[in-house]
Amino acid sequence: MRRPCYKTGSADNVHREIQGSHGENGRRMPPEIKPIVKIITFALSVMLFQSCGSKKNELQLVKFGGLAQGTTYAVTYYDSAGVNYHADIDTILKNIDQSLSWYQPQSVLSRVNRNDTSVIPDRYFLDMLNKSLEISEMTNGAFDVTVAPLVSAWGFGLSNRERMTKKTVDSLLQLVHYRYVAFDGKKIIKKYPGVKIDFNAIAQGYTVDVISEFLESKGIQNYLVELGGEVRGKGRKMNGALWNIGIEKPADSNRLDHRMIQAILRLENRSVATSGSYRKFYIENGIRYSHTIDPSTGYPVRHSTLSVTVVAATCADADAYATALMVMGMEEGKKFLSKHPELQAYFLYSDSADGLKSYMTDGLNDLISE
């Protein structure tokens, strides 16, 4: 269900777990894979662990994966009975698509965007709307669930940069504001018919949370769930080690064999998501700028932050706040984070003198090694 939101361009972001301390999101599938907001600058890759055997009374390793929301997903967990919940999780993924997919014409989201007054929002849709409006308010609109018209107009990779006039941008801005949508207890209310809701900047993180909560309902306490680069981990591996997540080092090539690890994040009972677009950028005065659209101005941001990794309690929060911080940029992002100690962030940014540089919040000092 990925489509462009704040960012435009394309990149694969595959958060995966890494063994040891080494190892190896755009938004939209094929067609929805996330080649945009999530355009994720960082790629996480999971070198799925070796089986730990199936002795009586010993936790058994279960792992599986597949395709969903235009990207890949991977689920790894330890279960005393060794039960495989692959089919159940595929059903969850299908149900979420039927609710939140921008591309399925009969999804709840598509029907709301067509102003179908007969549609009844389901649990997934209302969860996403409520969380999106909450984070929009918290970030003063840096995260905005109605920004889709602007991103569509700019085009993937800002392909329409030369054709976007002030008149066009100003016209589209009239349809963009998170306060233009609400739920009155029965139906979704939009201020203008042309307002479009798009959950691409949060839906994959939310889906990771739904899968994780399903596993916990089955008594599973040690797991790692990844979808399109968004990750949630609980407990530890069988040997007591934390889940190791690799943060990709920026490179000017999209080739997988050119990707290298910038840093290792040790994850325990937390979620991680990244947003950025250093594979799709433009250069001005020696500085690389990401293709991130600011919902308040309607134009690409004018700062040099290339990507942000956020660590939070839930993956939906990590996903949405990563997007918001990409819009804010590092300096404004630091001010915001100083008021929200429940969030931690790792920034990569471009400097005309020193090239690529990184910054992390204090709470990550003991969790990240570069």
Residues in the chain: 370
Instruction: Kindly calculate the radius of gyration of the chain based on its CA atoms and give it in whole angstroms.
Output: 20
182-201 confidence digits (pLDDT tens):
999 999 999 999 999 999 99
The pTM assigned to this predicted structure is: 0.84
Report the C-alpha gap between 319 and 298 in whole angstroms.
21
Domains of the chain (ranges; CATH) run: 102-190 (1.10.3980.10)
**Selection from 252, 350, 353, 359 nearest residue 305 by Cα:** 350
Listed as own residue / partner, the contacts of 102-111 with beta carbons closer than 8 Å and 24 or more positions apart are: 102/1, 102/3, 102/32, 102/198, 102/199, 102/200, 103/1, 103/3, 103/29, 103/31, 103/32, 104/1, 107/1, 109/1, 109/197, 109/198, 109/199
* pLDDT, greater one: 197 or 38: 197
* pLDDT, greater one: 21 or 3: 3
Q: Residue ranges of the alpha helices (H) in the chain? A: 29-32, 86-100, 108-113, 123-138, 148-154, 166-173, 203-217, 315-328, 330-338
145-177 confidence digits (pLDDT tens):
999 999 888 876 667 776 889 999 999 999 999
56-115 confidence digits (pLDDT tens):
458 999 999 999 998 999 999 999 999 999 999 999 999 999 999 999 999 999 999 999
Instruction: Decide: helix, strand or coil at residue 262.
Output: strand
Q: How many CB atoms lie within 10 A of CB 80?
A: 12
Kindly state the tokens that stand for 289.
Answer: 């700028």
39-59 confidence digits (pLDDT tens):
333 333 333 333 344 454 589
Report the range of poorest mean pLDDT among 16-20, 139-143, 350-354. Answer: 16-20
Task: Tell me the pairing of strands 368-369 and 260-267.
Answer: antiparallel
Q: Average model confidence (pLDDT) for the chain?
A: 83
